[in-house]
Chains A and B, each alone.
Chain A
Amino acid sequence: MAKLSIADLEEIRNKVKKSTLLREGSFNAKITVHMGTCGIAAGARTIMNTLIQIIEESKRNDIIVTNSGCAGFCSKEPMVTVELKGESPVKYSSLNESKIKKIFEEHVLNGRIVAEYALAIGNEREP
C-alpha cells in the first residue's frame, strides 16, 4: 500500500464512517464480541466460534462478526454487542453457548431483543 496523504486519510475516514454505521453498507447486522484478555479468559473465544458456526449454518451473508477490546465490565464477561441496521446497539452479558444461540435466533435473525440476557442498549459517551 502506498503512503497516504492527508486527503487519502480523510477519504478512508469518510468511507469507514459510513460503513460502520451500517447505513449504507451491505450488512444488516453486526455482532461484536468483546475479546480482551479477561473476556477471552471468561470464554469469549467459545462465543466467537459458536457465532461463526451458526452464521455459516444460517447461510446469511449479510451478518458480520467482528471482535473488539474489553468493554470494561469484567464481571459480566463474556459480552457481545448486537447492532441491527438502523437500530441502537444492544449489549448482552454473561454469555454462554446456549445463550448466544438464542440471541442469534431471536435478535439477529428475527429482530426481537432477548431482554433476559440484555445488559443495556446504546453506547457510552465521551465528555
Chain B
Amino acid sequence: MRIKRKNQSRQCSLPDEKVDLTLLDELLKKYSGKQGSMISLLQGTQEIYHYVPVSAIKKIAKEANLSESDIFGVITFYSQFRLNPVGKYIIKVCHGTACHVQNAPDITNALMIELNVEDGKTTDDRLFTLESVSCLGCCGLAPVITVNEDVYGKLKRADIHKIIQQYKSLEEKQNG
C-alpha cells in the first residue's frame, strides 16, 4: 500500500498549524537512547497527528538530538510520511499492476471529477483526501479503493458516485 511519491520538495511554505506537542512526550520517552529509531519516531508522530507537523519536527530534533534536516530528509524519502494535514476520509486508489490493467487510472480520474480535487490533494472542506497507492495487495478484487478502513473492489466508474455520496450523506446526518 505504498503511497505514490509526489514531488513534495520545493514546497517551502509548509502549513504551520497549532498542534498539541505534549502528545509526543510518551513517544520520545519510549525511544529515548535507542539507536536508529528516527523512522519509528516519525511513524509514531504521524499516528498521532495523521501527518508530521513542522513544529513536531523541531521538537523531535531537539529532544532526540537529531538534526532537523536529517529528519526532513527521511520524511521526504519515504512515501509513508505526509507534511500536510489530511481529510477526514482518506481515499486510496490502488495502482498496483493488477489494478492498472483493470483500469485503475479510470477510477482515479472519476474520483478527481467527482470530488473536484487533484490526485494527492485534500478537498477544501477537509473531508476527503485522494491518494494513489502502489499496491493494496487485494489483487483478486482489482480495481480496488479504500476509504479509511472500508474496502471497495471490482469497481466500475459508475460506482464512484454512489460511494462518495454515501460518505457525504453520512456527514450531513452527523451534522444534523
Contacts and interface: CB of A to CB of B under 8 A. Distances in A.
A74 B139 contact: yes
A67 B137 CA distance: 20
B141 interface: yes
Q: Mostly helix, strand, loop or mixed at chain A's interface?
A: helix
Interface stretch (A13-21, A36-44, A47-55, A103-111): A36-44
A75 interface: yes
Contacts of B15: none
Q: Mostly helix, strand, loop or mixed at chain B's interface?
A: loop
B12 to A, nearest CB: 38
A77 interface: yes
Contacts of A42: 138, 140-141, 153
Interface in B99-150: 136-141, 144
B48 interface: no
A41 to B, nearest CB: 4
B170 interface: no
B151 interface: yes
Nearest to A76: B140
A40 to B, nearest CB: 8
Given A74-B139, A74-B140, 20 more contacts: A37-B138, A38-B137, A38-B138, A38-B139, A38-B140, A38-B141, A40-B151, A41-B136, A41-B138, A41-B141, A41-B151, A41-B153, A42-B138, A42-B140, A42-B141, A42-B153, A74-B138, A74-B141, A75-B140, A77-B140
5 contacts: A40-B151, A41-B151, A42-B153, A75-B140, A77-B140
Interface of B: 136-141, 144, 151, 153
